[in-house]
Chains A and B, each alone.
Chain A
Amino acid sequence: EAGVVQSPRYKIIEKKQPVAFWCNPISGHNTLYWYRQNLGQGPELLIRYENEEAVDDSQLPKDRFSAERLKGVDSTLKIQPAELGDSAVYLCASSLRDAGNTEAFFGQGTRLTVV
């Protein structure tokens, strides 16, 4: 079974440019997460989806970040415009929400460098 797939793996852009990341979760997983991992830090949650609904986006900088999960499957995270401080690894994860199961499976991440 395929895991969580993210693309691209690496992205280098100039500041003020837009960028988008794509995530395909594990088939059947209804919960999808986007995390940001700064260098030398643990991941921090940006947004969580239950099916197509964003149920926790309190940590998403809404002035420049946006996300969508059309049809409750794939998801896209966008930054517009990018700033130097957005350089980080963006991780997507998915899980199957049922009683007592909170295991999240992570993709390999997209490493963003803003220059």
Chain B
Amino acid sequence: AQSVTQLDSQVPVFEEAPVELRCNYSSSVSVYLFWYVQYPNQGLQLLLKYLSGSTLVKGINGFEAEFNKSQTSFHLRKPSVHISDTAEYFCAVTYSSNTGKLIFGQGTTLQVKP
């Protein structure tokens, strides 16, 4: 079955430190990958997406992610986090551009401490 695994349920980090949120997906011939952020009592906001081309994808708020096909991973990184980055982060995948059906991971709570 198609699935997305976010390896860490919570990631505590100090302000201005680097962070990596890990995401693995079940393998497929074609895959489209996304990271969404959800602030408390808000909907999901797209951070970045990988559809094709360069495996290093840059998104909003200084986040980037790298698509690694051999390891079926799409880890999210930021070199220096801010208090305002505290939120829930979701990795999602769709296996065809024609279905639009997103399969989400369970989420990772990023807790940025002062």
The answer to whether A109 touches B92 (Cβ under 8 A) is no
The answer to whether A33 touches B43 (Cβ under 8 A) is no
Q: What residues of chain A have their CB less than 8 Å away from a CB belonging to chain B? A: 4, 31, 33, 40-45, 48, 56, 91, 93, 95, 97, 99-109, 111
The docked-state distance in angstroms from the alpha carbon of A111 to that of B42 is: 10
- Kindly provide the distance from the CB of B102 to the nearest chain A CB, expressed in whole angstroms: 6
Pairs across A and B, CB under 8 Å, 21 listed: A40-B106, A40-B107, A42-B90, A42-B92, A42-B106, A42-B107, A43-B44, A48-B100, A48-B101, A56-B99, A56-B101, A91-B44, A95-B100, A100-B51, A102-B94, A103-B49, A104-B100, A104-B102, A106-B36, A106-B43, A111-B41
The answer to whether B100 touches A31 (Cβ under 8 A) is yes
Chain B, 89-112, contact with A by CB distance < 8 Å: what is the 0/1 string? 010101001011111111100000
